[in-house]
Structure 1
Amino acid sequence: QNKVASMKFWESIGAFYGAKDPSYAWPLALVHLNITLYALTFWLTRPVMPFLTTQLGADAVVFGYLQTVFSFVQLLGAPIIGRLCDTQGAKIALQMCQLATGLSYILLGSAWNIPVLFASQLPTVLMQSMHCSQAFVTDFSSDESRSSALGRLSLSYAVGMALGPMLGGLLSDVIGYHGVAWLAGALMFVPFLANMYSLPAHRPGMEKAKGEGGKGGLQVAECLKVLKIPTCRNLTVFMLMTGLAGQIYHSTFSMAGPSFFKLTAKDLGMFQTMSGVIGLISNTFVVGALEKALSQRSIITLGASILVCTFTAYSFATSFEHLLVIGFVSAFPSMAMYTTVTSMVTRGTPREVSATVIGLGHAARSLCGIVAPTIGGYLYKDQGVPGVGFTCAAIMVAAAVWSQVSQVTVPSAKSKEL
């Protein structure tokens, strides 16, 4: 009876995570644990980062450069990890990512001057755990449940995102800004040890990817090849536009929060926790309901349109209460668009290059992160919060229009040939 009960339990877990076979339930559950801890540690450090850098003598311009370095190394790493997932398996890639992420936080906690602070961002070239986890979910979930499975992965990320900022803000008063970073680094070794013994090394389609993908590593020709697929190319352009608007907003918010809106680390933690909680709600209830009522193309257009309104409202914000309202409204479309676009690019491309396609999406967002802090810093310095808000709104208008005119087509799960 215990064996039967255990089998039914894991069958229900597998069904919840969208596993195409009950034997994939445990690996998928562990992947979700990975992404929750990954998000928890990342968001632990977010509320303290502006204050830690200020403590080391950095101003808003230096903080912008720090974000540019982070995005640049992320851009370099995303295609590499994508091909590594396709050719060597996501387990190896994920283990490398967890170690590199932990090392980055430990260096951050040990930073005593600006050069070491910048050096702490170099290991983030492999801070691609979400990418690897999406590759796992794409391969071990059925086509019919692909969108909901990716949505639940974002749900697990949102759990960490909801807890991390609040804990980071509170712990900064107890163990200091550096202590929060050290704690984040230590926590990253938990999933590394669990993965070592429990995650499968093989992934479906890996042999085919090896045969077609060459010798592993970064295959530029393969990355360019997938961009010839209309769905991938058009959605990458959409991600570039939405990513640019989002990165301009986030890069300047780190400066505007403490200086213009007079927020503390606890305030930032509360604001970011609210976004995480809304992400939980969005991926649990909103994405699935929207996909039953609307096409995926309509969902991303609607999301972009809502963000046009919230960015416009941000231009007129003057208080923390205004930020809470704007953040509450914008979190729903942001999470829904991210989950839906990821589902669209994986369903619209061959399975053997799915991780490469996901990597290109992450690389597109990282590319935006390279230029956005400079653009945002210039806008914030000369035009203030209104200039940032109106610029982001204009970019999202372009994204909404592009989603309609680019003729994005995604086959249904039932009709897609594997």
Structure 2
Amino acid sequence: MSGKGPQTTTTDFSRSRVIYATYVFATLDVAWMFLQMSVTPYLAKRLGFDTLWFGYLQTLVGVIQLLGGPIFGRFADIFGARTALTLSCVANTVFFALLVIADSPIMLFIQKLPAIFMHGLPGAQMVVADLTEPANRANALAKIGLCFGIGMITGSTLGGTITTHYGEKFASSVGVVGSLVNLLLVLNFIPKSTKLQAQQNSTEIKSTAGEKNAKSVFDLGEITRLMKYPNVARTFLVKSISGLPAGIFQVMFSIIAINVFELKSQQNGYLLAYFGILQMFIQGGVVGRLTSRYNEWTLLLFSIGLSSAVGLVQAFVQSVFQFCLISIPMMLSLIVFNVVTDSMLTKGVPPSDTGTMLGLCASEQSLLRTIGPTLGGFMYENYGFSSFGFVQFVINITVFTYLFLRGFKEEHKE
């Protein structure tokens, strides 16, 4: 790295070194998350949970992270990246330690409480965004998606294998050790603050540090203000409605894998690893080419239309092999949809508010995880596996038709 540009608070840390360390952190954080996902469904089943109660458990996690997510970004801005990621790592360690000793349904619910502070991946995104120039930021953030895929493969395979051969408690203990490794990584490689303009804005920051910062951590008015920009509310509504069926299916997938496809823990881990490989391939070799050739409006329509078609086919899937085939267009539609909507939303607000907008997008995902398990448990218990596909088809074809007709009308108005 050249020495050009303003001096930052990362005095003793090369910017590239911090970014690479953040990529390693993100990969490990995702790996431990998927290790936990490989353990929890089988532990829950052993403790007597049915599909509906497992849905309630997942809903609790969604509510907790929904409450903590919007605050975490502001916390990182005020107290610095190292403090925020340290808090996340400590919460992860407590989370896995409680999973080790969970021996009753109530303990499994209590074990989820530390999730309110577990926001390692959004924290990593903030570090990378702080340390990259706007022109290189999209490419740098896209690499976190690659880290997600690697972590997903590693965590799900490791979790499934360890759980099969050594049990849930040992797998959870591995999560404790892994979270402590992440903590050491943060303390040794992540600087206290990663704000590029820290010294330039130091005077402004000092003059507003007390009352304004304290208020802004819980300022819900910031969210309302962002929704007033042109097309932001509509795009966010489309993102929430169209993404709801996929969100429901994702949070219920572990139970579906056990009850519908009758997969063992290790087999479920291999299937999650397959999803990780698909994500890496699509995110690394497909999405970039699509975004360079087609505009965002076209890609938005494409992803929603493809999602509706996938939902219709998914309703008739009867085997793991068939599901693996349909997973290819399913992952493509999900990844393109998320990339395009996030891009449209961040472009719809001033550059100074893109971080808040991304935090709001993360909260939207938590909201899906909040209502998804309860809705998913109800759908599965009353209407079966096929209901997930039919609901996805109906919702997405409706959104597609609305956007297509609206775009057609606006085009002819011009």
Q: Please classify the TM superposition score into its range, dividing by the shorter chain length.
A: 0.7 to 0.9
Q: What are the residue-to-residue correspondences of 1:298-309 with 2, within 5 Å?
A: 298-309=298-309
Residue 314 of structure 1, CA deviation: 1.2
Q: Provide, for residues 129-173 of structure 1, a one-character-per-residue CA deviation record: whole Å limited to 9, x for no partner.
A: 121122222222232333222211111111101221112111112
1:175-195 deviation digits (Å, cap 9, x = unpaired)? 211221221122012122122
Alignment of 1:345 with 2:345, yes or no, is: yes
Q: Cα deviation per residue 1:372-394 (whole Å; 9 max; x = unaligned)?
A: 22222222122111212110222
CA distance in 2, matches of 1:31, 1:341: 25
Residues 105 and 181 of structure 1 are in contact (CA less than 8 Å); yes or no, is this contact kept in structure 2?
yes
Could you tell me whether the CA contact under 8 Å between 2:149 and 2:280 is conserved in 1? yes
User: Is 1:36 paired with 2:36?
Assistant: no
Q: Among residues 178, 181, 204, which one is paired with 2:196 in the alignment?
A: 204
Distance 1:374 1:219, change over 3 A: same
CA drift of 1:401 comes to 4.9
Cα distance in 2 between the residues matched to 1:401 and 1:146: 33
Match of 2:175 in 1: 184
C-alpha change, 1:254 and 1:218, in structure 2 (3 Å) is same
CA distance in 2, matches of 1:398, 1:96: 42
Identity between Structure 1 and Structure 2 (%)? 24
CA deviation string 1:254-306 (max 9, x = no partner): 33221222121122112111111111112211121111101233223322222
**1:126 partnered with 2:125:** no
Relative to the length of structure 1, the TM-score reads: 0.86
The question of 1:90 aligning with 2:81 is answered: yes
Q: Please give the alpha-carbon distance, in whole angstroms, between the structure 2 residues aligned to 1:403 and 1:384.
A: 30
Letter in 2 for 1:171: I
The answer to whether the Cα contact below 8 Å between 1:86 and 1:353 also exists between their aligned partners in 2 is: no
Match of 1:315 in 2: 315
Counterparts of 1:162 and 1:389 in 2: how far apart (Å)? Answer: 25
How much has 1:79 moved relative to structure 2?
0.7
SS at match of 2:286: helix
The one-letter code of the counterpart of 1:280 is M
In the aligned structure 2, how far is the partner of 1:289 from the partner of 1:391? 30
Distance 2:192 2:403 in 1: 37
2:176 match: secondary structure? helix
Counterpart in the other structure of 1:360: 360
- 2:132 aligned residue: 141
Structure 2 match to 1:413: none
Whole-angstrom CA distance in 1 between matches of 2:176 and 2:340: 31
Amino acid at match of 1:233: A
Rounded to whole Å, the distance in 2 between the matches of 1:239 and 1:205 is 32
Unaligned runs of 5+ in 1: 1-6, 12-21, 408-418
Pairs within 5 Å for 1:226-245: 226-245=226-245
Q: Which residue is equivalent to 1:387?
A: 387
Query: Which of 127, 152, 161 does residue 143 from structure 2 map onto?
Result: 152
TM superposition shift of 1:209:
7.6
- Kindly name which structure, 1 or 2, has the bigger radius of gyration based on alpha carbons: 2
Q: 1:278 to 1:270 in 2, by over 3 A?
A: same
1:301 is paired with a residue whose SS is helix
Please state how far the C-alpha of 1:228 moved relative to its aligned partner: 2.1
Amino acid at match of 2:118: M
Corresponding residue SS for 1:262: coil
Contact 1:257-1:263 at 8 Å conserved across structures: yes
Give, in angstroms, the shift of residue 74 of structure 1.
Answer: 0.7
**CA displacement 1:355-386 (0-9 Å, x = unmatched):** 32211111111112222222222221221112
Give RMSD over aligned pairs. Answer: 2.6
**What corresponds to 1:277 in structure 2?**
277
The two structures have a TM-score, normalised by structure 2, of 0.87
SS state of the match for residue 76, structure 1? helix
Instruction: Indicate conservation of the 8 Å contact 2:52/2:378, yes or no.
Output: no
